[in-house]
Amino acid sequence: MKRIVCPKDYYNEQGLLLSAKGTKITLSQFLRLQRKYDFLSETEANERTLASYEKIKQKICRKDERYKRADDQLLDQASALLVNIVFESKRKPWYMYLTALGNHINWLYTHSIDVALLSLMMAIESGVSQRSLWDLGVGGILHDVGKLLIPKKIIQKRTELSDIEKDILRQHCELGVECTTDCAFPILSQDIIAQHHERLDGSGYPNQLQEGQINEYVKIVMIADAFDTITAGRPYRKTVEVEEALAYLEDQEGAFSRMYLETLKNILVRP
């Protein structure tokens, strides 16, 4: 099948990039794009792209009472990076999962954003490299992607889950890895999906990994995930204040990295 190099960026009516300039596509795909989307001028495409960018920014850069003591510069830096990660993911094969999360369960998408944001703040404070920050952000916002394959009635249940329901829910780590296998996912991002419920003392799931077996930067995300789950609440559980949540995580002796817990504490409980 004859393939050609896409001569320009093609966008749909919502400003979503369909095919980037320089991408190899089939002749039939090119003709279909040209026939349907060539009516958009570069200016119109840019306007739609900017509108799409601003929509993403609005969802991420919102006021959150839990971050009121965080350094404004750190919060802005992490927020800007996350906005760029989500926006640039439009060009990636995993963007369909981001879209699906956004349309699945409202609080689940908010949780995904908050875990990614908290993780990036902790990682920046810890001196993580720019390349790793990017991969960490991708993994952070998609850490619960496997929950797309868990029945909604379990995820949204307002009473405590039964043992069987808990077992089903815990499959989301492995399901997340399976559904992103063909997405050219960064290794760190894959590890985040697979390991964010592991614990350093081997008490986590799905594989009861211990500290030396867990990716170093996943240790950041597992704290962000646990903290956000406690402080943002769930349909079956009330919210907990920041200081109380941090104290609870610190009491889980051996489960979480003391170093990264201290980093989160320094970020959120500044004098």
Lowest-confidence pick of 6-10, 33-37, 151-155: 33-37
For 65, the token pair is: 């009472």
d(CA 51, CA 53): 5
Task: Give the start-to-end residue ranges of the domains of the chain.
Answer: 62-267
CATH code for the structural domain at 62-267: 1.10.3210.10
Q: What is the dihedral of CA 245, 249, 251, 257, to 10 degrees?
A: -150
- Distances, alpha carbon 121 to alpha carbons 128, 260, 263, in Å: 10, 11, 9
* Residue 263 predicted with pLDDT over 80: yes
Q: Residue 130 in contact with residue 84, Cβ under 8 Å?
A: no
Q: What is the pLDDT of residue 13?
A: 60
What band does 244 get if pLDDT is binned at 50, 70 and 90? Answer: very high
Q: What is the pLDDT of residue 12?
A: 66
Q: What is the pLDDT of residue 37?
A: 61
Each residue's pLDDT tens digit, 122-178: 999 999 999 999 999 999 999 999 999 999 999 988 888 899 999 999 999 999 999
* Residue 39 predicted with pLDDT over 60: no
d(CA 81, CA 103): 23
Cβ-based neighbours of 187, under 8 Å, separated by 6 or more: 135
For 246, the token pair is: 């941090």
Each residue's pLDDT tens digit, 53-62: 777 788 888 7
For 177, the token pair is: 């890895």
* Residue 34 predicted with pLDDT over 70: no
Cβ-based neighbours of 137, under 8 Å, separated by 6 or more: 81, 82, 85, 116, 119, 120
